[in-house]
Amino acid sequence: MVIRRVGVLSLGKVLGVLYALLGLIFGALFSLFSILGAAIGSAAGESEAMFGLLFGAGAIIILPIFYGLCGFIGGVLTSFFYNLAAGWVGGIEIETG
């Protein structure tokens, strides 16, 4: 079996969703660490500690959107260039079993 062509929007959508999920995970971790940092900072009496809370809450919203968009664009570009290269060399041969 030889893969000669990959759907451009199909791969873009799949990678967009996968990267958005990764962004959600990273955003949640970033948010958790910024909450911990804000708690430690407020316990130490720092007035700027609440800024970290807002930054962390924004990360859980912004990172999935940003990662998803980058994943979509990367998937579209990757499939476009794969289709060009597969036209020149014939595609990827896969042996199933």
Q: What are the domain boundaries of the chain?
A: 2-93
Sign of the torsion formed by the C-alpha atoms of 38, 40, 41 and 45: positive
Condensed to tens digits (0 to 9), the pLDDT of residues 8-42 reads: 999 999 999 999 999 999 999 988 888 888 778 77
Q: Cβ-count burial of 56 within 10 angstroms (0-12 exposed, 13-18 middle, 19+ buried)?
A: buried
Average pLDDT, the chain: 89
| 69 compared with 45, residue with greater pLDDT | 69
- Residues 6+ away with beta carbon under 8 Å from 78: 11, 15
Which tops the pLDDT comparison, 56 or 32? 32
Residue 44: exposure state from Cβ atoms within 10 A (0-12, 13-18, ≥19): exposed
User: Side-chain half-sphere of 54: how many Cα atoms within 13 Å?
Assistant: 4
* 45-54 tens-digit pLDDT: 766 767 777 7
Q: What is the pTM of this model?
A: 0.81
The contacts of residue 52 (CB under 8 Å, 6+ apart) are 34, 35, 37, 38, 41
Pairwise CA distance, residues 14 & 35, whole Å = 32
